[in-house]
């Protein structure tokens, strides 16, 4: 008896399944959907497709623009780096020139200071010109005197005497001593 009851329940289940299946299929069949609803669903699907296509095109366009901007930025960065390198090189050269100028200026100021001391402490001798001195100069005595002054200036300079002191000792100006030293260095 249990078998009969189980078999009957199985048969009722199978029949119920097919009844519900066909009922649901009939109620949800495509021809049961009203044409307005079908058209509206089709329109919605088409609109979603169109919007999706437009959005994907916009995204692709923005990606292209972004790539273009990034390439432009990369070029500008490269140019900027080249300019920075050029500026650094120029700045190094400028500093080097300024150092050289400073060294030359310091040396010039030292020389000027020494010369100023010589000018301040030097009092030129009272010059008297006589006819005999002019005649002696005309005879060449002056050139012999100049040669001895150049030799004395060179000897004193070689001994380490400053230029202004040499000028004071020889009763000459600093410029005359510098010229004498220049001429002695040429011999």
Domain boundaries, the chain: 41-121, 125-187
Task: Write down the pLDDT at residue 67.
Answer: 95
Range 29-65 burial, b when 16+ CB lie within 10 A, else e: eeeeeeeeeeeeeeeeeeeeeeeeeeeeeeeeeeeee
The Cα–Cα gap between 27 and 99 comes to 99
Task: Write down the pLDDT at residue 119.
Answer: 54
Kindly give the confidence (pLDDT) of every residue in the chain, 187 residues in length, as a single tens digit, with 9 standing for 90 and above. 778 888 889 999 999 999 999 888 887 776 777 788 889 999 999 999 999 999 999 999 999 999 999 999 999 999 999 988 888 888 888 888 777 766 666 676 667 666 655 555 545 444 444 444 445 555 555 556 667 878 888 888 888 889 889 888 888 888 888 888 887 776 6
Task: Write down the pLDDT at residue 179.
Answer: 83
């Amino acid at each position: 008896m249990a078998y009969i009851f189980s078999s009957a329940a199985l048969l009722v289940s199978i029949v119920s399944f097919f009844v519900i299946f066909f009922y649901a299929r009939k109620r949800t069949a495509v021809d049961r959907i009203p044409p307005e609803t079908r058209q509206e669903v089709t329109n919605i699907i088409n609109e979603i497709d169109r919007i999706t296509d437009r959005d994907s095109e916009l995204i692709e366009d923005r990606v292209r623009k972004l790539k273009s901007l990034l390439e432009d930025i990369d070029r500008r960065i490269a140019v900027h780096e080249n300019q920075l390198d050029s500026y650094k090189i120029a700045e190094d050269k400028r500093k080097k020139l300024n150092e050289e100028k400073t060294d030359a200026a310091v040396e010039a100021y030292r020389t000027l200071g020494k010369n100023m001391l010589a000018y301040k402490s030097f009092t030129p001798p009272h010059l008297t010109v006589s006819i005999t001195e002019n005649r002696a100069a005309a005879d060449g005595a002056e050139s012999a005197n100049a040669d001895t002054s150049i030799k004395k200036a060179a000897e004193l300079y070689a001994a380490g005497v400053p230029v202004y002191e040499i000028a004071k000792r020889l009763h000459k100006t600093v410029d005359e001593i510098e010229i004498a030293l220049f001429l002695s260095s040429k011999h």
